[in-house]
Amino acid sequence: MSFDKISRQLAGDTPGRTTELNYFRIGPADADKKVYLQAALHADEQPGILVLHHLLQLLRDADTAGELNARFVVFPMVNPLGMGDIEFGQHQGRYNRSTGVNHNRDWPVLYDAVGEELLTKLGVDADENLRQIRAALRNWVETLPQVTALDRWRQCLIGEACDADYVFDVHCDDDSLIHIFTLPQLAENMQQLANWTGAAATLLAEDSGGGSFDEVWPAIWLRLASECPDKPVPLPVVSCTLEYRGRFDTFDELNRRDAENLYGYFQEQGLIGGKPVGQKQEAPTPTDLRATEYLRAPQAGLLAYNVELGDRVEKGDRIADLIRLDGEGAFVERIPLLAGTSGLVISRKITKYVWANANVCKIVGSEILESRSGNLLSD
């Protein structure tokens, strides 16, 4: 039995600046499976912190009872650097101030780091290939530069996640229903996760663009399998971004139930024993992310929505009116914003003042949209 809190001191880039990064290792150190969970990579997204707060207690109790069949590594608040990003009384936290890069973008392409060396080492034994690949990743982590606080922070996260069998990056949207981003190759497993979490949508893309945290871990296995079709290369990583509703959905009882349902999923996976916890339901089947419309504002204005979260709309339906704030029609003219596809409304804006090209809502459809290519995510 083990419930260990680890505190890493990240030396800052300027005098007197040090940041504390706390996380937990729970369960048998010699377990066959490893589960990595993190919340608040976008530091201004708090529901996941409360979900993992409740999950920690469940895991602690399970560890005491000897019911954990996996090693859990949990970062309840993974981005303390972003937690300090407060400007004029408002918490920001989505972007690194020194680089301008979204905290959930530009994570390393692992194949570029170790792929070439592995091509000559892979053999006919799938288990041995798995060991070779994970050993190469662990060795590479030790060589990562640690010049800045951002370097040291990223190296810690990569080191803990690179050999995990499950990598769950917990986020939230603006005003939203629960939904999941994952790879098509993981759709069957993610349907189980959707059933447990009550996800309104599971959105599939092998490469959504931008190098998001959850996509880099399975990507190397898929690339190696493609480069070595005559060698057995497994896909041992179940990875996803799990969006727990919207920014304002941080409520103790609600997020406690979220934690219980996530725990129930891990029980179904055989990672935790004991009495069943949580409540499972039937979630919609996964869909291609390219079939989800990101409806955008053509210009600045004030939104007046005509739809609620969970509404089903048809192509051409009026989603919102954009009240013009300048020019000849200022404060009189309403510009209709129409759905470009039929589907389910899963997100809206909390703040109703928007500017040109701002994302107004997401509509999960079933038909792939010609406009959806390249980078499929909003930044």
Q: What is the 3-state secondary structure (H, E, C) of the chain?
A: CCEEEEEEEEECCCCCCEEEEEEEEECCCCCCEEEEEEECCCCCCCHHHHHHHHHHHHHHHHHHCCCECEEEEEECCCCHHHHCCEECCEECCCECCCCCCECCCCCCCHHHHHHHHHHCCCCCCHHHHHHHHHHHHHHHHCCCCCCCHHHHHHHHHHHHHCCCCEEEEEEEECEECCEEEECHHHHHHHHHHHHHHCCCEEEECCCCCCCCHHHHHHHHHHHHHHHCCCCCCCCCCEEEEEEEEECCCCCHHHHHHHHHHHHHHHHHCCCECCCCCCCCCCCCCCEEHHHEEEEECCCCEEEEECCCCCCEECCCCEEEEEECCCCCCCCCCEEEEECCCCEEEEEECCCCEECCCCEEEEEECCCCCCCCCCCCCCC
Question: What are the strands of the beta sheet with 301-305, ordered from one edge?
Answer: 334-338, 318-323, 301-305, 353-354
CB 324 within 8 A of CB 330: yes
pLDDT, residue 374, reads 87
Domain at 3-285, CATH homologous superfamily: Zn peptidases (3.40.630.10)
CA torsion sign for 105, 215, 38, 33 is: negative
Range(s) of the chain covered by CATH 2.40.50.100: 289-364
For the purposes of burial, counting CB atoms within 10 Å of the CB of 179, is it exposed (0-12), middle (13-18) or buried (19 or more)? buried
Predicted confidence pLDDT, tens digits, the chain (379 residues):
799 999 999 999 999 999 999 999 999 999 999 999 999 999 999 999 999 999 999 999 999 999 999 999 999 999 999 999 999 999 999 999 989 999 999 999 999 999 999 999 999 999 999 999 999 999 999 999 999 999 999 999 999 999 999 999 999 999 999 999 999 999 999 999 999 999 999 999 999 999 999 999 999 999 999 999 999 999 999 999 999 999 999 999 999 999 999 999 999 999 999 999 999 999 999 999 999 999 999 999 999 999 999 999 999 999 999 999 999 999 999 999 999 999 999 999 999 999 999 999 999 999 999 999 889 998 8
Give the Cα separation of 312 and 295 in Å (integer). Answer: 15
**Parts of the chain belonging to CATH 3.40.630.10:** 3-285
Yes or no: domain 289-364 corresponds to CATH 2.40.50.100: yes
Q: Which whole-number Å values give the CA distances from 53 to 92, 161, 215, in the listed order?
A: 22, 19, 25
Please return the burial class of 227, using the count of CB atoms within 10 Å of its CB with bins 0-12, 13-18 and 19+.
Answer: middle
Which of these, 336, 312, 310, 314, lies nearest to 323 by C-alpha position? Answer: 336
Q: Is the dihedral of CA 200, 205, 208, 212 positive or negative?
A: positive
Beta bridge partners, 304, equal 321
CB 63 within 8 A of CB 29: no
